[in-house]
Amino acid sequence: MNTISKSFAAAALAAFALAFTGCSSYSEIARWRSTTPINDGEVPIASFVTQNFSYKLLWCIPLSTGLPWTEGMEDIKDEFNVKFFADKATIDNNLVSLNHAMDLVGSRRISQLKVTEDDSKAWSLFFINRHEVRTSCLILDPEPSKKVRMAND
């Protein structure tokens, strides 16, 4: 192959990789001042959701992955945040993102934690596998309500 063909092949591969990975990571904190209690008087102050994708060739060779959200002060992060030839889409990494969200909100109490993992064949001929890890929960008021404390006494 000549130099022009090699350059074109490299550019085409890079364009395919960018289109292939897309937004591989998404995290959001939705804050509100709720007065509606849940779980015997607990008051949620925010909801949290994060999802990360990883792609593997032939179910075993990591191609790309979304990176867990662990820095920044923004409440919504939906961007091209990808690492190539790695697999960072794990429950542990999503829980690291949850810890970061709890630090931003100022609470270490959660409720209704849901974690799901999904494997699917992303493209034709089943050569590429997509793995998704999604975590969501409600972040509770850092101080339990008086009603809950009185019920427990």
**Is 149's pLDDT higher than 60?**
no
**What pLDDT does residue 94 have?**
92
Please identify which residue in the block is written with the tokens 């945040």: 81
**Is 128's pLDDT higher than 70?**
yes
DSSP 40: T
Average pLDDT, the chain: 79
**Residue 41 and residue 147 in contact, taking contact as beta carbons nearer than 8 Å:** yes
- CA 34/CA 144 separation, integer angstroms: 14
DSSP 23: S
- Please tell me the pTM assigned to this model: 0.75
SS3 sequence, 106-144?
A: CCCCEEEEEEEEEEEECCHHHCEEEEEEEEEEEEECCCC
Model pLDDT for residues 18-35, shown as the tens digit of each residue: 555 556 788 888 888 777
**Is 152's pLDDT higher than 90?**
no
Choose the weakest-confidence range: 7-11, 44-48, 69-73. Answer: 7-11
**Is 148's pLDDT higher than 50?**
no
